[in-house]
Each structure stands twice: as C-alpha cells, then as structure tokens.
Amino acid sequence: MMTMHSLWPRDRDSVKDAKLDRESAARIWRFASPYRGMILGFLLTVVAQALLGLLPPLLFGRIIGDVIPDKNEGLLGWYAFLIVAAAIASGAVALFERYWSSRIGEGVIYDLRTQLFDHVQRLPLAFFTRTQTGTLTNRLNSDVIGAQRALTATLGTVVSNVIVLVTTVIAMVAIEWRLTLLALVITPLFVAPYRRIGQMLQNLTRNSMDYNAQMNSTMTERFNVSGALLVKLFGRQDDETRVFSERAASVRDIGIRSALLTRGFMIMLTLLGAIGTALVYGLGGYFAIQEDISTGDLVALALLVGRVYQPLTGLTNARIDVLTALVSFDRVFEVLDAPSPLVDRPDAKVLPRPEGRITFDDVTFRYPDSTETIIPSLETQSSTVSDEDSPPVIRNLSVTIEPGQLVALVGPSGAGKTTITNLVPRLYDVTRGSLRIDDYDVRDVTQDSLRQSIGVVVQDPHLFHESIRDNLLYAQPDASEDDLIRVCKAAQIWETISKLPGGLDTMVGERGYRMSGGEKQRLSIARMLLKDPAIVILDEATSALDSENESLVQQALAKALEGRTALVIAHRLSTITDADLILVLDEGLLVEQGTHDALMLNDGLYSELYNTLVRSDLEPA
C-alpha cells in the first residue's frame, strides 16, 4: 500500500486516493503521544459514563417488575435515589470528559499549527512564488481543526459507543437471550450502507475544502491594499463578485448535498432502529403474555434496545467521520512532507562576522523544476507540474569581490542580476561550482549566521502591519531606543518620524501603505543599519523614487555602505558610475568587468547601455 511519505511529489489523483496505512496511523499517534496520560483519563471518563448509563434502564425494570407489585416503598425510594445519583454522576463525568477532550484537542491543534508554520517558512523561496497564500493559510487553519477532531470527538465517540454496545448486549443477554438475538438480527443493515455513504461524504468534504481554500485565496489577494487598489483602478468589482459568488455557490451546493445525504442516512438508520424496537416490543409482549418473562424485564429490554441501535448508528457515523477527518490529516501531511532542499548540513558552522569578501567560483545556476518546489493541491486547478530542467540562468561565473568594494551588476532585463543577489544569502543553492563568503562555502555554514551578515534593500520593501518601532526591531529585537533613533537619523527618516503624532509607535499600515515610497525605502535602510551587516545588497533601491526622495535615499545609502561590501543593481546607470567594480551580464554570462571609465573605453555592452539609458537623461539636465 502506498504510504503518505511516498506520495511526494504528488499529483491530485494520488492525494485523492490516499488511504490511512500503518505508517500514517503511527505518524498520527506520534502527534497524540505527548498526551497519553490525558488520553487515558479521557477514555476512562468515557467508559465510566457508558457504564453509568446502564443503571437507569435496569433500575426502571426492577421498579416495574418487583417494587410496584410488592408495594415496597422503601426500595422504591432507594432505587429512585440511585437513578438520580447516576444522572448526577454521569453529568460530573461528562465535565471531566469534556476537559480532557479540550486539552487534547487544543494541544494537537497547537502542535500541528506550530510544526506546519515552522516547516512552511523554511521551504525554499520558489515554493512561495507558486503557492497561493489564502490556500496555504486555509491549510493551516481548517485542515488542522479537521485533523484535531478525529483525535478527540471521533475517538471519544468510537470508544463510548463500543463500551455502550458491549455492556448493553451483555445486560440484555442476561435478561432474555432470544429477544437480544432478535434485536441483533438487523444490525448488518446498519453496517452495509456506510462504505458507499462514507465515500460520497469523503469526496464532498474534499471538494468543500478545495472550494473554501479558493475563496480564502480570493479574499486574501483582493482584500490587501495592493489587490483592492488594482480592482478599483480597473473597475472589476462586479467581475470579482461574480467569480467569488460562483465559488461560494459551489460551497453552498456541496453543503446542501452533504446535509441531505447525512440526514437521509440518519433517517434510514433511525427507521431500522424503530423496526428493531418494534420487533422486541412485539415478541417481548407475546413472551410477557405467555409469562415467559416478567413485565419488568420487558420494560428493561425495551429501554436497553435503544442503547443497542444508538451506538450502532454512532459507530457507523464514526466510520464516516474518520474517513472525512483523514482528508484533513492527508492535507496536513502533504504540506509537512514537502521537501526543503535548503537545510543546514549536520556539521554546518556558525559564520563569524565576515570581512566581506565574496567569491564566485565557476558558478552555474538553474532554477529547480516545479516538482521540487510546489505542492500541487496548493496551486490553482489549471497549474501544471513539469519535471523538465530549466535552462541555466547563471553560467560559469567566476569573480572575486573584495571587502569594502562597491560592486554594480549591470545588464539587460533577464541577464541574471537579481539571481546573483539571491545566491549570496543562499535563497537558492548553486547548481554547480561554489560561492564563498571569505573562505567559507555558504553551504557549509548555518543559514541564520549567513543571513545575519547580509542586509538587503529592495525596490519595494515589505513592512509588516505593525508600528515603525516593531518593524525596526525585527532586525534586532533587543535594540535600545537610542539605537533606533541613531539608525533613523542615519537613514534620513528621523525628522519625518519625529513629526508623527505616534512617533516610533505609529502604525505603518499593511505593507507600509501609510508611508510614501521614499519613507518606506528609508525605513528599510534604517532596519538594515540596525542589523549591522558586513555585506549589503541593493536591488533597484531608488528606481521608483522621485528626485527629492531619491536624493534623501542616496544620502542614507551613502551612510549605510560605509565600510561594507555592497552589491548594487540599478537601471539608472548614472547612479553607479563611481562603483569600484562593474560586472556586466548578458544571458547569464559575465561579458565585461571593470570601472566605469575602463568599460566606456571598451565600447562594449556597458558603453551601449550607458549611452542608450543615461545620455538621454543627462542632456536635458
């Protein structure tokens, strides 16, 4: 049988047909094993409650059969007291059962969510470029809750119903074996429909989860500031509502079908139970008339027979619940099984603060194929999975950047500039060759220590929907107030912050939309300065700014780059003419390198780019 682990890489059909095998059952148990003591307490309360439920029918039978005919008032009061005591005790046990159930369930939710969150954030960057955010967050919420339900509600139901069924049948056999046999004759009819009904409900549940995930993705993308602005600017509100309405309608229709299927199944089971009860009453009444059994025994059997069919119905539903809950476990395990190629080696060392030398030694890089970087069910239905190797983006790059140098990466769009800057902090691993910081191959050091030594400022920096202070402290959580003011002044942003009513505690809005482009850039520079890296990467850091903001950001960058190795990507070539070294790339190849003046004399690609992109801007100035 195919195991959960062997399902990666998965296509939709393999996920759809996954079964719960022994390995997966053991894996589920590993999540529950920290709660063994609680599970034992939970099961004991379930057993106790099932046994307490036997007392009222037996005592009622004794009252009808013995106490009333004998007019024994003392025994009547004693039996009545026991019935009330059993009800009170059952209620108290139910509270303990709920306590253990909630402790186990919430604990499992916590463990699953934290493990999923930790695993997902360690997946390669390529995973996030292909995965819908809303679908992923739905996986961490709805599916985790569905998996938790299987370990608590379903487990309790199964154990309780088994105990109730076994103890009730034993009690009924002790009273009258012939009526018990009659009651059990129709039990196969309870079990027969569950396989077909269970499969149908399982498929409906899976489809409902998929449609809900699509709705969450739509809301996540359309309700952030960028998505909302795009919808408004293109006037597509009606179209968005129509698409969302179609997906919501699918969820609605599945919910209706599921509700009708479940209710019809319950009606069928209830009808079978009523038939069985009627048979017991009919034949039991005949035995009572013939004086084969007492009236009290008939009453007790009539009450107990309901305790036979009720757990049978519950066990049948439990099977269905398990099948649908396994869909959630399957989807959770699918994410946990996603491979992460970027892991620290067992003998990885902590990178000491580097001098800043960067060495590319015959580096070739191609992006991993889609089967290595995606989870099929987290993509849209139209997505395709390809295992074909992509062409190299960087080819045979060999160059050494000395500590403290300002190095510019220049070339046409698609030349591989951003890819090179992604390789330095090891967002991807080189395909061939090696990349070293000082004398350390980046694959031989821990990722945390490597990235702590590198600061990045991009064209559109991301700010969390938190205060300015919290966004800055993300770089160094234990920084003091003086440290924050110092880096803000160095980044030319303190004057702006000091004028805000909330100062450092001002909320920046989602993705920093309450701040201007230049303010966001300078905040990101301040955050980078607080990190105090030895190597700085600037990816189009000023290309989208007006001249006033660009001037302020350039001043901030001049301070930020002091004493640090810098890799700079800039389409405005006039901004990097003073670079210590310019690397000119074309289709992944290093075609030229040198200073601005030397490259202009070569009359090569750099000279062509400079004359085309810069001179037209400089002449009007």
Taking the chain, what is the end-to-end CA distance rounded to the nearest angstrom? 73
The length of the chain in residues reads 621
pLDDT interval class at 3 (50, 70, 90): very low
Last residue of a domain, one of 336, 362, 382: 336
Do the domain assignments include residue 272? yes
Say if residue 11's pLDDT is above 50: no
Per-residue pLDDT reduced to its tens digit, 563-577: 889 898 876 666 678
Do the domain assignments include residue 455? no
Per-residue pLDDT reduced to its tens digit, 38-94: 888 888 888 888 788 888 888 877 788 777 777 777 788 888 888 889 889 988 998
| Higher local confidence (pLDDT), 154 or 353 | 353
Look at residue 12 in the predicted model and tell me its pLDDT.
36
Mean pLDDT on 497-508: 87
Residues 86 and 228 in one domain: yes
Last residue of a domain, one of 482, 509, 532: 532
Distance CA 575, CA 567 (A): 13
Distance CA 532, CA 455 (A): 8
pLDDT interval class at 153 (50, 70, 90): low
pLDDT interval class at 621 (50, 70, 90): very low
- Give 298-320 as a 3 state SS string: HHHHHHHHHHHHHHHHHHHHHHH
Last residue of a domain, one of 502, 532, 562: 532
pLDDT interval class at 14 (50, 70, 90): very low
Tokens for 219, please give them.
């809301």
Do the domain assignments include residue 285? yes
- The letter for the amino acid at 320 is I
Per-residue pLDDT reduced to its tens digit, 404-446: 999 999 988 888 898 999 999 998 889 999 999 998 999 999 9
Look at residue 18 in the predicted model and tell me its pLDDT.
41
E strands, 217-376, are 358-365
Number of structural domains, the chain? Answer: 2
E strands, 139-181, are none
Do the domain assignments include residue 195? yes
Look at residue 541 in the predicted model and tell me its pLDDT.
64
Say if residue 348's pLDDT is above 80: yes
- Give 536-575 as a 3 state SS string: EEEECCCCCCCHHHHHHHHHHHHHHCCCCEEEEECCCHHH
User: Counting beta carbons within 10 angstroms of the beta carbon of residue 259, is it exposed (0 to 12), middle (13 to 18) or buried (19 or more)?
Assistant: exposed
Look at residue 8 in the predicted model and tell me its pLDDT.
33
CATH number of the domain where residue 480 is located: 3.40.50.300
- The letter for the amino acid at 458 is V
Say if residue 400's pLDDT is above 90: yes
Distance CA 530, CA 476 (A): 7
Residues 327 and 466 in one domain: no
C-alpha dihedral, 607 to 609 to 613 to 616, nearest 10°: 40
Strand partners, 483: none
Look at residue 317 in the predicted model and tell me its pLDDT.
62
**How much of the chain, in percent, has pLDDT values that exceed 90?**
11
Look at residue 17 in the predicted model and tell me its pLDDT.
43
Distance CA 428, CA 409 (A): 18
Strand 432-437 and strand 535-539: the pairing is unpaired
Do the domain assignments include residue 549? no
Number of neighbours of residue 2 by Cβ within 10 angstroms: 12
Mean pLDDT on 510-530: 81
Distance CA 298, CA 93 (A): 29
Say if residue 521's pLDDT is above 60: yes
Do the domain assignments include residue 233? yes
Mean pLDDT on 100-115: 81
Mean pLDDT on 246-257: 85
Say if residue 373's pLDDT is above 60: no
Say if residue 362's pLDDT is above 90: yes
Domain of 479 in residue numbering reads as 462-532
Mean pLDDT across the chain: 78
CATH number of the domain where residue 235 is located: 1.20.1560.10
Do the domain assignments include residue 295? yes
- The letter for the amino acid at 83 is I
Mean pLDDT on 195-210: 73
| Higher local confidence (pLDDT), 150 or 43 | 43
Distance CA 421, CA 456 (A): 9
Q: Look-up: residue for tokens 């000023």? A: 542
Residues 473 and 330 in one domain: no
| Cut 0.85: pTM above it | no
Look at residue 574 in the predicted model and tell me its pLDDT.
61
**Spatial contact of 411 and 584, defined as CB atoms under 8 Å apart:** yes
Distance CA 578, CA 405 (A): 11
Tell me which of 208-217, 585-594, 597-606 is least confident.
Answer: 208-217
- The letter for the amino acid at 442 is V
User: Counting beta carbons within 10 angstroms of the beta carbon of residue 151, is it exposed (0 to 12), middle (13 to 18) or buried (19 or more)?
Assistant: buried
Say if residue 527's pLDDT is above 80: yes
Look at residue 361 in the predicted model and tell me its pLDDT.
93
Tokens for 286, please give them.
């005949």
Look at residue 397 in the predicted model and tell me its pLDDT.
93
Look at residue 618 in the predicted model and tell me its pLDDT.
47
State CA 534 to chain mean position distance: 34
Do the domain assignments include residue 515? yes
